[in-house]
Chains A and B, each alone.
Chain A
Amino acid sequence: MIALLVAQNTFREVVRDRVLMGLVIGGLVLLAVTRIASPLAMGEGLRLTVDLGLSSISWLGLLVVLTVGTALVSKEIDRRTIFNLLSRPLPRPFYLFGKWLGLTVALATVAAILGSVLWLVVALLGHGHYAGSIAEAVYLATLELAVINSLAVMFSALSTPLLSALYTLGFFLGGQWCGDLRRLASHCPDGLKVMLESAANVLPNLPLFNMRTLAAAGELTSWTHLGLASAYAALYCACVLSLAAAAFESRDFK
Chain B
Amino acid sequence: MPEPNTVKPPRSDRQPLAGERSIPGHARRGVDPAAGPAVSIRGLTKSYRHPWTQKVTRGLEPLTLDVHRGEVFGYLGPNGAGKTTTLKILTGLLKPTGGTAMILGEPIERVSSRARIGFLPEQPYFYDSLNGLEYLEFVARLSGMPGRDATRAARAWLAKVGLGERERQVLRKYSKGMLQRLGLAAAMVHEPELLILDEPMSGLDPFGRRDVRDLILEQRERGTTVLFSSHILPDVEALCDRVAILLEGKLERVATVGDLIDGTAPVVEVHVEGARVFEIPPRLAPVIERSDAGGSTALRLREPERLQELLGWLLSERIAVNSVTPVRPSLEQLFMAAAERSAFQAQSERRPA
Contact = CB atoms under 8 A, between A and B. Distances in A.
A92 to B, nearest CB: 8
Given A86-B93, A87-B93, A80 B130 contact: no
B321 to A, nearest CB: 56
B126 A84 contact: yes
B95 interface: yes
A253 B117 CA distance: 18
A90 B111 CA distance: 7
B181 to A, nearest CB: 14
Contacts of B95: 250, 252
B139 A84 contact: yes
Contacts of B111: 89-91
Interface string A186-205: 00000000000000000000
Interface in B46-88: 48, 88
A64 to B, nearest CB: 16
B143 A89 contact: yes
B228 interface: no
B83 to A, nearest CB: 13
Scoring B95, B124, B142, B144 by chain A CB atoms within 10 A of each residue's CB, the highest score goes to B142
Given A5-B138, A88-B114, A90-B111, A80 B121 contact: yes
Interface in A195-247: none
A253 B89 CA distance: 10
Contact of A13 (B94, B113, B119, B130): B130
Contacts of B183: 84
B142 A85 contact: yes
Contact of A87 (B121, B134, B141): B121
A194 B152 CA distance: 60
Interface string A66-89: 000000000000011101111111
B92 A86 contact: yes
Nearest to B170: A16
B154 to A, nearest CB: 14
Contact of B114 (A9, A87, A250): A87
Nearest to A6: B142
B142 A2 contact: yes
13 contacts: A5-B138, A9-B130, A12-B129, A13-B130, A79-B125, A83-B93, A83-B119, A84-B119, A84-B125, A84-B186, A89-B112, A89-B142, A253-B93
A88 B115 CA distance: 6
Interface string B309-320: 000000000000
B278 interface: no
A17 interface: yes
Contacts of B113: 89
A87 to B, nearest CB: 4
Task: Enumerate the 3 nearest inter-chain pairs by beta-carbon distance, A residue then B residue, closest first.
Answer: A87-B91, A87-B119, A16-B129
Scoring B94, B119, B127, B183 by chain A CB atoms within 10 A of each residue's CB, the highest score goes to B127
Scoring A85, A86, A250 by chain B CB atoms within 10 A of each residue's CB, the highest score goes to A86
Contact of B143 (A13, A83, A88, A252): A88
A83 B139 CA distance: 11
A250 B117 CA distance: 21
Contacts of B114: 87-90
Nearest to B139: A84
Contacts of A254: 88, 94
Given A5-B142, A90-B111, A91-B111, A252 B94 contact: yes
A44 to B, nearest CB: 43
Nearest to A8: B138
Contacts of A6: 142
Nearest to B46: A252
Nearest to B117: A87
B124 A84 contact: yes
A90 B121 contact: no
Contacts of A13: 127, 129-130
A5 B130 CA distance: 14
B121 A83 contact: yes
Given A84-B124, A86-B92, A89-B111, A17 B129 contact: yes
Interface string A1-26: 01001100100110011000000000
Given A80-B121, A83-B121, A254-B94, A88 B139 contact: yes
Interface in B127-179: 127, 129-130, 134, 138-139, 141-144
Contacts of B126: 81, 84
Contacts of B48: 252
A80 to B, nearest CB: 5
Contacts of A83: 91, 93, 119, 121, 124-125
Contact of A90 (B94, B130, B142): B142
Contacts of A17: 129
A253 B91 CA distance: 11
Contacts of A9: 127, 130, 138
A89 B114 CA distance: 5
A150 B333 CA distance: 55
Contacts of A91: 111
A10 to B, nearest CB: 10
Nearest to A10: B127
Contacts of A2: 142
Interface in B215-250: none
B125 A89 contact: no
